[in-house]
Amino acid sequence: MRLRVQSYSEISSWKNKALPYLRKEEGWNNLFWQIIDTKEKTSCRQWAGNVFEQGEVFLSALHTPSNYLLLSHGSSNAVHTMSKYSLDKKWELAGLCGPETVVNSYLEYQGKKGPPSPCSSQRVFKLFQTSNHNENPRFEDYKLVPVSKIDWPKARIWAQQFAMEADPPLDISAITQLARQMYSTHNLFVLTDPQNHPCAMAGFGRSTERYRVINMVYVPTQMRRQGIGRELVTRMAVHAKELGYHNCLLFSEWLEVGNLYDAMGCKLLGTFVEYELV
């Protein structure tokens, strides 16, 4: 038999086949859990499919609410099969997202290989997994606590500064809304010093069965280069473990030398890409 694409009209039917495959590389495929949750809550009818050979899944894919095609990890032959399928169906996608090698393989099949470096049509992220959960004794009097009503005005300003300092800058309104959502669900945290003054911020975003994604890691300018960022991420990973998760994931658009997550010993899983087509 040869590789073939199986599409599904019901997200539940697709999920039953896709999840065992997605769990094999759960860190890489973490975005699928968020899209699945969105589709199940809204009864969304957007396309979902798997690439099979002899009953075994070799690639999973979904249309996202923003009309991107989300691709899982997978073999190059399976990616080419999906790429050909999309051409045959004459899809008009807004973009692609997934592991960089998978996205580039999809584009190469269609003669649309992505640009070699980040530009306006492409966002590139390093994807890390936390691996060292040893807290620094120097910060033993620091505490990780949920953002309180009193802390929220400062957290909101930090979220705005986080958006402005991103390269390229992020939508301030969207990031502030995300921070507010995490705050309202008690998933936005500050690291406080011995005098209970907030000195850094981070939040839990989406989750899979075994992972939490750490979002919006922010240390004010005057507090940087003191090990606070490292301690903040460590405390978040420890807290995730306490909640029953295996580990945490972090996305970083800092691709040069000196990446915080690399410096603190996080495991680099690879590069994730969001590629705009129109």
Question: pLDDT digits over 26-59, tens only?
Answer: 999 999 999 999 888 887 678 999 999 999 999 9
Residue 245 in this model has a pLDDT that exceeds 70: yes
Residue with tokens 């590069």: 271
Crossing angle between the packed helical segments 172-184 and 152-165, to the nearest 10 degrees = 140
pLDDT at 252: 92
> What are the residues whose beta carbons fall under 8 Å from the beta carbon of 185, sequence distance 6 or more?
none
For the residues 266-271, what does the mean pLDDT come to?
93
What percent of the chain lies above the pLDDT cut of 90? Answer: 80
Q: At 200, is the secondary structure helix, strand, or coil?
A: strand
Q: Which residues of 205-222 are buried (b: 16+ CB within 10 A; e: fewer)?
A: bbbbeebbbbbbbbbeee
Residue 116 in this model has a pLDDT that exceeds 60: no
Query: What is the pTM for the complete model shown?
Result: 0.90
